[in-house]
Amino acid sequence: MICLAYASVPLYSIFCKATGYGGTIRKVTNTTTNITNQKIRVHFNADIMSDLPWEFKSETNYVDVNIGEQSLAFYYAKNLSDQPSFGMAVYNVTPFKAGKYFNKIACFCFEEQMLLPKQKAAMPVSFYIDPEIMLDNNTKDLSEITLSYTFFKLK
């Protein structure tokens, strides 16, 4: 049972990346894109499973970004316990139909994070919204997207 719990986060990551399930976003290396004047509001959500003794929050509730422009946001975590603690974050984008247009350049998700007792850590995420979102009949009228992270306990 413990092995299944430990393996569930990486397996979920693989499943989501392969299927696009749950608004899974793409990690890109080529960030050359057309920056538009159209703005979209990106909300930031931070959740944590109750068995992980951390505090986890975003620096801001939202940012208004130009579609196509690279943006940087920060989340912060703090280990509230007196022991080293390990966690891993998973993410999704809602509405789900926007996930394929949300491109992350760098983030802390799907990587083991270790915090020492009472340690605080800044966790940046760099992203942009693909201008193709404006050409898709299902997404062209979107004015808001939510990027949500959930931290799970490891070990």
- Is pTM, for the whole model, over 0.85? no
Output DSSP code: residue 136: -
- For the chain, domains (ranges, CATH) are 2-154 (2.60.370.10)
- Give the residue carrying structure tokens 């290396």: 29
Among the listed residues 52, 55, 107, 57, the one whose alpha carbon sits nearest the alpha carbon of residue 85: 52
What band does 36 get if pLDDT is binned at 50, 70 and 90? confident
1: tokens are 């049972």
> 28: helix, coil or strand?
coil
How far apart (Å, rounded) are the C-alpha atoms in residues 142 and 48?
27
What band does 33 get if pLDDT is binned at 50, 70 and 90? low
- Ranges 26-30, 56-60, 109-113, 129-133: which has the least confidence: 26-30
Task: Examine the pLDDT at 4 and tell me if it is beyond 50.
Answer: no
pLDDT digits (tens, 9 = 90+) for 84-116: 999 999 999 999 999 999 999 988 888 999 999
